[in-house]
Amino acid sequence: MDTSPSALLAATERRSAERHSCNNPSVVVLVTEALTQLQTRGQPWNISTGGTCVVLEPHYHLGNRLNLQFLDVKDEKRLMTWANVKYSILIPSHREMYLTGVELQEELSEKELPLFV
């Protein structure tokens, strides 16, 4: 196994597509866990054509399948996709919140991304 810094960095990078920060406060993500059908609301952190990071209150485990519905409550735009959890990191906060990284089952087009960033 190659343990050089460049090999370790390449192994940890999950997305090869450009990430876009989600700075639009009117965009929220409704997250539904596939097995339990429990729904929660989250805030998108960043998005690319193949994945996204969402700030969520519940902790999801590696491999959990999630339905993500991006909603722009101001403009009433919607985008629905399925995703698999790749990681979930606890964020230091007064409430237990997690930065949850997911891989999208179907890549988004470059046209769809500007609607939610």
User: What digits encode the pLDDT tens for the residues 1-28?
Assistant: 455 555 544 444 455 667 778 887 888 9
pTM over cut 0.85:
no
Residues contacting 96, CB < 8 A, separation 6+? 57, 59, 90
The CATH T-level fold of domain 17-116 is Thrombin, subunit H (2.40.10)
Q: Using one digit for the tens of pLDDT, what is the confidence trace for 72-93?
A: 888 788 889 999 999 999 998 8
Q: What are the extents of the domains in the chain?
A: 17-116
